[in-house]
Chains A and B, each alone.
Chain A
Amino acid sequence: MDNNRENLIEIEGLYQIFGEQPDDVLPKVKAGASKEDVLAETGHTVGLRDINLTVKRGEIFVIMGLSGSGKSTLIRHFNRLIDPTAGKIKVEGENIMELSPKDLITFRRHKMAMVFQHFGLMPHRSVLDNVGYGLSIKGEKKTDWTPKATQWLDTVGLSGYEEQYPSQLSGGQQQRVGLARALCTDAEILLMDEAFSALDPLIRSEMQEQLIELQENLHKTIIFITHDLDEALRLGDRIAVLKDGKLVQIGTPVDIMLHPADDYVKAFASDVNRARALSVQTVMTANTEKLEANSVAEAKANFPQDKEYAFVFNSEGYQGVLSKQQIATLNDENSLKEVLHPVPSVRKANLLQKVIPLSLNTRFDLPVVNKAGELTGRLEARKLADVLSPD
């Protein structure tokens, strides 16, 4: 989406080969031997093959693939839980493969936090102690980090559970603790390994929504692993599709949906109910102007001449739509509020299926506003139709 963002993480020529002598097998793999041949000839398993990707600061980068595609292996390279057989992993330009063990620990403590599929909570620590884990191993005193941990627990909706133990919580609650633990470290990069896959569908969808909302305020760089394209499309700013350890396609959700790189991706995409999978974010047009006006006079004065209609905002936020034709017929005495078209606003995180009826009920585009009530873009009916109609 936003191509001006700087690259935060760059992965170049990453290979992962499992077995006794991976270095001996590497040339063969680099030369293009297939996974099956390598296994048959050398007994080695090719986990990842020539991965090149960049993650931009502040985006949600989804890595999607079926089980066995190597996605969980790949995410463990970002913080070197697994070391690659070959390749570079650069974070802010620094190759983390060259970090000393001590520096690696410092790097993990400050740069990245991770959320796990099965939560990875410490069953012997209370919820509060789990949330503060990242800080406590840095050597911070419990009295110092308690307020922060409590606040994050509150943010994920678990205040009051501080003294409980993970086993006393439901799966969804446990993963909220996992999320709070990751956020509590203030690390810029969040690694989420199938974070919501173990949860019930309803809870999962709730957690996805929560993540999108949190991200609106936090602007973290999130690397999210999933096997579920619906989830990938819903969360991702960009999606990388992994198959048998190889990257098949990297692109925006709309790219993936509308321009699948090969049959594999296509098969995925065709299974998806786009209205339920895509969110407003993926279809909306950003950088929309708004019309700040408290009265008809102000509206007339500020109305953008090149537009057919405008989204009107006052100090209380979004008010409605004013069309160019109306401007001509209105007197300054008219109450602005009464003449505005009551076009509803939508949120970035809203699923398309929720906004389709709204869009059908009006001839205008729908304004997209954030939590604070500010305009972030608009949703054009034509684009919506494009996305929803299969090929």
Chain B
Amino acid sequence: MAQYPVLLFEILFMIDSSWLTEFPDMSRRDLLAIRQTLDGAYRTFSRAYGQSIEDFFNPLLHFLIWFENLLIQTPWWIVLIAIIGLVYAATRSWKLCTGVLISFLAIGYFGMWEDTMRTLSIITVCTILSICIGIPIGILMAGSDRARSIITPLLDIMQTMPAFVYLIPVVMLLGIGKIPGVIAVVIYAIPPVIRLTNLGIRLVNKETLEAATAYGATATQRLFGVQIPLAMPTIMAGINQTIMMALAMVVVASMIGVKGLGQPVLKSITNQYFTLGLLNGLAIVALAIIFDRVSQTYAKRAQRHMEGSDNG
């Protein structure tokens, strides 16, 4: 009797020891059934709702095309003057303006003006979209722990999921081009602005907020009068991060037909045109640095009086 367990073990071991070396996984047939069912469901969905979803995004598409055409068709020097004007208005720094001017002149001289304008247009739109969607979500998250516990894992997924996993289904739904590109970029770039809006608002000095409440501020007055202004440095850091991540997505977006600096980069990767890749890569870097410095300088300028203040 005492030998039974050992014997049983022996039998199990002899008959099928594969579980020792291989993970006991689901049968191929079942896995296949799941995969086919889900894929089929997605195809049905895209067939049924693709057109209406496309129609929903149409206004955005028109705006994107209009904005891109505006940047490309306007004479280059007018665009350049406008950009320098914006940079100066935001930063009041001639040094930065000079840097921007030189960068754009070099970009134009090396024949990347049009691609740069395309990228600039899509990045601008993506950033604005991310801000418009991200800040309210961040506010929602800051206001409710339940919302935060739902949104945080979603943000983790958005940031780590390889872009192509959701890109190709989006292409099935909306075709290739700007809209899926914008969606991909926004999905990837929006988490920082959401996270940092949430963080910024949660870090607002408790007493300052209490003071507002004690003096009879409504929830809206607290939000716009105290929480958002005080969270602004953190939110600006989030926006800055968002812009950087959007620029990083330019190459990936070009893989679903988004025109701009990403396409030549992609081309040079596959063809080993090192110089072409380097030039276009540098143009992306230049855009990144410009966006970064301008937004940071602007943020610093806007928050000057809060420097060194911790309210205590």
Give A contacts to B, CB under 8 Å: 76, 79, 81, 105-110, 112-114, 116-124, 133-134, 137-138, 165-168, 181, 185, 191, 198
Q: Is B229 an interface residue (CB 8 A)?
A: yes
A-B contact pairs, 11 of them (CB 8 A): A105-B218, A108-B216, A109-B216, A113-B214, A113-B215, A118-B207, A120-B208, A121-B311, A122-B230, A138-B216, A167-B309
Smallest CB gap from A106: residue in B: B216
What separation, in Å, do the CA atoms of A81 and B306 have in the docked complex?
26
Which of the residues A108, A117, A181 comes within 8 Å of B213, measured between beta carbons? Answer: A108
Chain B stretch 284-312: residues in CB contact (< 8 A) with chain A? 305-309, 311-312
Contact B309 A137 (CB under 8 A): no
Chain B stretch 189-213: residues in CB contact (< 8 A) with chain A? 205, 207-208, 210-213
Known contacts A123-B305, A124-B229, A168-B305; 16 additional CB pairs below 8 A are: A105-B217, A105-B218, A107-B216, A110-B216, A114-B210, A114-B214, A116-B211, A118-B311, A118-B312, A119-B207, A122-B225, A124-B305, A133-B212, A137-B221, A166-B311, A167-B308
Q: How far is the CB of B234 from chain A (nearest CB, A)?
A: 13
List of A residues within 8 angstroms of B210 by Cβ: 76, 81, 114, 116, 120
Smallest CB gap from B307: residue in A: A167
List of B residues within 8 angstroms of A138 by Cβ: 216
Give B contacts to A, CB under 8 Å: 205, 207-208, 210-218, 221, 225-226, 229-230, 232, 305-309, 311-312
What separation, in Å, do the CA atoms of A181 and B212 have in the docked complex?
11
Most B CB within 10 A of own CB, among A81, A118, A120: A120
What separation, in Å, do the CA atoms of A168 and B306 have in the docked complex?
9
List of A residues within 8 angstroms of B312 by Cβ: 118, 198
List of A residues within 8 angstroms of B207 by Cβ: 116-120
List of B residues within 8 angstroms of A122 by Cβ: 208, 211-212, 225-226, 229-230
Q: How far is the CB of A281 from chain B (nearest CB, A)?
A: 28
Smallest CB gap from B306: residue in A: A123
List of A residues within 8 angstroms of B212 by Cβ: 122, 133, 137
List of B residues within 8 angstroms of A107 by Cβ: 216
Q: A116-B207, A118-B207, A165-B306 are in contact. Are A123 and B215 (CB under 8 A)?
A: no
Contact B211 A167 (CB under 8 A): no
Q: How far is the CB of A191 from chain B (nearest CB, A)?
A: 7
Which of the residues B216, B230, B232, B305 comes within 8 Å of A167, measured between beta carbons? Answer: B305
What separation, in Å, do the CA atoms of A206 and B189 have in the docked complex?
54
When A and B form their complex, which 5 residue pairs have the shortest distance between CB atoms, in order from nearest?
A167-B309, A109-B216, A120-B211, A108-B216, A165-B305
List of B residues within 8 angstroms of A181 by Cβ: 215
List of A residues within 8 angstroms of B309 by Cβ: 123, 165-167
Most A CB within 10 A of own CB, among B205, B214, B305: B214
Smallest CB gap from B309: residue in A: A167
List of B residues within 8 angstroms of A109 by Cβ: 215-216
List of A residues within 8 angstroms of B213 by Cβ: 81, 108
Smallest CB gap from B217: residue in A: A137
What separation, in Å, do the CA atoms of A122 and B208 have in the docked complex?
6
Which of the residues A121, A137, A166 comes within 8 Å of B216, measured between beta carbons? Answer: A137
Contact A114 B311 (CB under 8 A): no
List of B residues within 8 angstroms of A79 by Cβ: 214
What separation, in Å, do the CA atoms of A106 and B210 have in the docked complex?
16
Which of the residues A123, A166, A191 comes within 8 Å of B214, measured between beta carbons? Answer: A191
Q: How far is the CB of B232 from chain A (nearest CB, A)?
A: 8
What separation, in Å, do the CA atoms of A13 and B217 have in the docked complex?
28
Q: How far is the CB of A172 from chain B (nearest CB, A)?
A: 14
Smallest CB gap from B214: residue in A: A114
Which of the residues A117, A124, A133, A167 comes within 8 Å of B215, measured between beta carbons? Answer: A133
Q: How far is the CB of B198 from chain A (nearest CB, A)?
A: 19
Contact B215 A121 (CB under 8 A): no
What separation, in Å, do the CA atoms of A76 and B221 have in the docked complex?
20
Which of the residues B216, B225, B311 comes within 8 Å of A105, measured between beta carbons? Answer: B216
List of A residues within 8 angstroms of B211 by Cβ: 114, 116, 120-122, 133
List of A residues within 8 angstroms of B230 by Cβ: 122-124
Smallest CB gap from A111: residue in B: B216
List of B residues within 8 angstroms of A112 by Cβ: 214
Contact B215 A185 (CB under 8 A): yes
Q: How far is the CB of B303 from chain A (nearest CB, A)?
A: 8
List of A residues within 8 angstroms of B311 by Cβ: 118-121, 123, 166
Q: How far is the CB of B279 from chain A (nearest CB, A)?
A: 43
What separation, in Å, do the CA atoms of A137 and B212 have in the docked complex?
9
Q: How far is the CB of B215 from chain A (nearest CB, A)?
A: 4
List of B residues within 8 angstroms of A137 by Cβ: 212, 215-218, 221, 225
Contact A124 B306 (CB under 8 A): yes
List of B residues within 8 angstroms of A167 by Cβ: 305-309
Smallest CB gap from A124: residue in B: B229
Most B CB within 10 A of own CB, among A79, A123, A181: A123
Q: How far is the CB of B308 from chain A (nearest CB, A)?
A: 6
Smallest CB gap from A133: residue in B: B215
Smallest CB gap from A168: residue in B: B305
Q: How far is the CB of B210 from chain A (nearest CB, A)?
A: 6
List of B residues within 8 angstroms of A198 by Cβ: 312
Q: How far is the CB of A139 from chain B (nearest CB, A)?
A: 10
What separation, in Å, do the CA atoms of A265 and B34 have in the docked complex?
74
Most B CB within 10 A of own CB, among A108, A167, A181, A198: A167
Contact A114 B306 (CB under 8 A): no
List of B residues within 8 angstroms of A105 by Cβ: 216-218
What separation, in Å, do the CA atoms of A112 and B214 have in the docked complex?
8
What separation, in Å, do the CA atoms of A383 and B213 have in the docked complex?
45
Smallest CB gap from B312: residue in A: A118
List of B residues within 8 angstroms of A123 by Cβ: 208, 230, 305-306, 309, 311
List of B residues within 8 angstroms of A116 by Cβ: 207, 210-211
List of A residues within 8 angstroms of B226 by Cβ: 122
List of A residues within 8 angstroms of B229 by Cβ: 122, 124
Q: A81-B214, A108-B214 are in contact. Are A121 and B208 (CB under 8 A)?
A: yes
Q: How far is the CB of A132 from chain B (nearest CB, A)?
A: 11
